[in-house]
Structure 1
Amino acid sequence: MLARAACLLARRAEQAQLSKQLVRSFSAAAASQASPKADYKLPTAPLQLSGTSGAIATLAWQVAAKENVLTKVQDELYQLVEVFKAHPEIRRLATDPFVPAAFRMKVVRDMFNTKDVTDVTKRLVEALAEENSLSAIVQVTIAYEELMLAHRKEVHCTVVTAQPLDDAERTVFTKQAQQFVEPGFKLVMKEKVDRKLLGGFVLEFEDRLVDMSKAKKLEEFNNLVTKLENDLK
């Protein structure tokens, strides 16, 4: 996925721990836009995530759900991650501790002034910029994506084969993948061809990999032969 591809490009930036102040900063920004009514209550998130990035993504999801902009916020986060991928100068702005916070905030606000962006995304990114944690947008996007999948009760899977699937094979692999999906969740399957597999298949889920390819079996066989040869020396 887009977010995961960008994650690889921004790996160094993601290693920094986010401060609890960042959560409070975004919470304050969200609260400032909340209804003054005493009964204002955020929806319960569909998934409990750990870590500071998970806490921020959860708060963003709750506010977006309250304001009925869940999908739009997700699309905006994907676009921001794409900016990280395409523009090294933006990654520098996000990760260089010597860039003044005031300058970072000005760039963020100028960028949003020319685009139709939800207040949820604006408040989130401004809070990250203020705390010198813009690089965390990648982690937050990944966490937000997890919440959206749980909200939609979807499990995404990519079936990778050496040759394109026909209808009969597609039915078989759908049944194979369905075994790894909890009851009540919808399987969303994509197809991918990788001739290096030689045969068999690979099922790629968000949190697991089922490798039943001939290439994998050949690798395991070669490793076994190598181990036996070493044991006989």
Structure 2
Amino acid sequence: MLARAACLLACRAEQLQLSKQLVRCFAAAASAPKTDYKLPVAPLQLSGTSGAIATLAWQVAAKENVLANVQDELYQLVEVFKTYPEIRRLATDPFLPVAFRQKVVCDMCAAKEVTEVTKRLMEALAEENSLSAIVQVTLAYEELMLAHKKEVHCTVVTAQPLDDAERAVFTKQAQAFVEPGFKLVMKEKVDRKLLGGFVLEFEDRLVDMSKAKKLEEFNNLVTKLENDLK
């Protein structure tokens, strides 16, 4: 069914800054397209080529009802690229023949029995010698999934483990940065180098209220004053 998206994908290729080869690889998944095939609207507008590719993959995955499957497969593939040096070489060596790169990708996808969406995405990246972009594409896809599920992930970092009362306080503070209608998903992490205070780590922002940060700012101010007095 992916190929039925070919008409719309081809029309949007220039707008999304995608290569004709990328569109062709997605379109090759099946036969004769239907002009009434419409892709879902992405929940977030991303910039850049990786964002455009992730958006395209998300839209087709949403239409095929395999959003979570594709996300899980992308995570696994990124882990493969991180774990095996020979696969990283495959992703970055410009002198390897395209046919060889595509065969390795096909074999890898067949071994993992991935969805057609992920398979075509990987084949397209292999043909374009852009397999190294899989990490950025996966991160962009994750952004789309978070927006789709209306979730905001936050990690609260403290110098000591939290008790229930502290957890309630930090949850309330983190919730203040979440837009109405979105669900806060919070994780906890201990970093004794903070000395005290806390850090809230969101996908797109960092709120640093640690003692270590305040001490750094104080030392920087003292250094500036000393330099000004010279």
Determine if the TM-score, normalized by the shorter chain, exceeds 0.5: yes
- After TM superposition, give the deviation of residue 20 of structure 1 in Å: 4.3
> 2:11: which partner in 1?
none
Quote the residue 1:28 is aligned against. Answer: 24
1:52 partner SS: helix
Aligned to 1:182, which of 179, 182, 186?
179
In the alignment, does 2:71 pair up with 1:74?
yes
Instruction: Using the TM superposition, give the Cα deviation of residue 174 of structure 1 relative to its aligned residue in structure 2, in angstroms.
Output: 0.4
- Cα distance in 2, alignment partners of residues 177 and 21 from structure 1: 37
RMSD: 1.5
- TM-score by length of structure 2 reads 0.89
Whether 1:213 and 2:210 are equivalent positions in the alignment is: yes
**Equivalent position amino acid for 1:113 in 2:** A
* Alpha-carbon distance, 1:26 to partner: 3.2
Deviations 1:64-90 (A, max 9, x none): 001110001001001111111111111
SS in 1 for 2:137: helix
Q: Does the 8 A contact of 1:57 with 1:143 survive in 2? A: yes
Partner Cα distance (1:51, 1:109) in 2 = 26
Q: 1:58 to 1:21 in 2, by over 3 A?
A: closer
Kindly, what percent of the aligned residue pairs are identical?
Answer: 84
Write the mapping of 1:59-70 to structure 2, written as runs, cut at 5 A: 59-70=56-67
Correspondence for 1:156 among 153, 157, 165:
153
Residue among 214, 222, 227 paired with 1:225? 222
Structure 2 residue matching 1:158: 3-state secondary structure: strand
| SS of equivalent to 1:114 | helix
Distance in 2 separating the partners of 1:206 and 1:73: 21
Higher relative contact order by CA 8 Å / sep ≥ 6: 1 or 2? 1
Q: Distance in 1 between matches of 2:64 and 2:37?
A: 12
Is contact 2:17–2:52 with CA below 8 Å preserved after alignment? Answer: no
Per-residue deviation, residues 205-230 of structure 1 (Å, max 9, x unmatched): 00100000000001111111111111
Q: Mean Cα displacement is larger for which, 116-125 or 106-115?
A: 106-115
Aligned to 2:3: none
Q: Give me the whole-angstrom Cα distance separating, in 1, the residues matched to 2:33 and 2:219.
A: 67
Partner of 1:39: 36
| Matched residue SS, 1:181 | coil
CA distance in 2, matches of 1:37, 1:224: 65
Q: Tell me the alpha carbon deviations over residues 101-123 of structure 1, each in whole angstroms, 9 at most, x when there is no partner.
A: 11101111111222210000000
Q: How many residues align?
A: 214
- Aligned-residue offset at 1:54: 0.8
* Partner residue in 1 for 2:9: none
Query: After superposition, where does 1:75-114 map in structure 2 within 5 Å?
Result: 75-114=72-111
**Take 1:197 and 1:115, find their aligned partners in 2: how far apart are those partners?**
42
Regions of 4+ moved over 6 Å: none
Alpha-carbon distance between aligned partners in 1 of 2:55 and 2:155, rounded to the nearest angstrom: 26
TM-score of the aligned structures, taking structure 1 as reference length? 0.88
- Residues 128-137 or 107-116, more deviating: 107-116
Q: Say whether the 8 Å CA contact 1:27–1:59 is kept in structure 2.
A: no
Unaligned residue ranges in structure 1 (runs of 5+)? 1-18
1:203 to 182, 200, 203: 200
C-alpha spacing 1:38/1:20, structure 2 compared with 1 (3 Å) = closer
Tell whether the 8 Å contact from 1:200 to 1:212 is kept in structure 2 after alignment.
Answer: yes
Q: Of 144, 148, 153, which residue of structure 2 is paired with 1:147? A: 144
Q: Is residue 136 of structure 1 aligned with residue 102 of structure 2?
A: no
Higher mean displacement: 36-45 or 183-192: 36-45
Q: Which stretches in structure 2 are left out of the alignment for 5+ residues?
A: 1-15
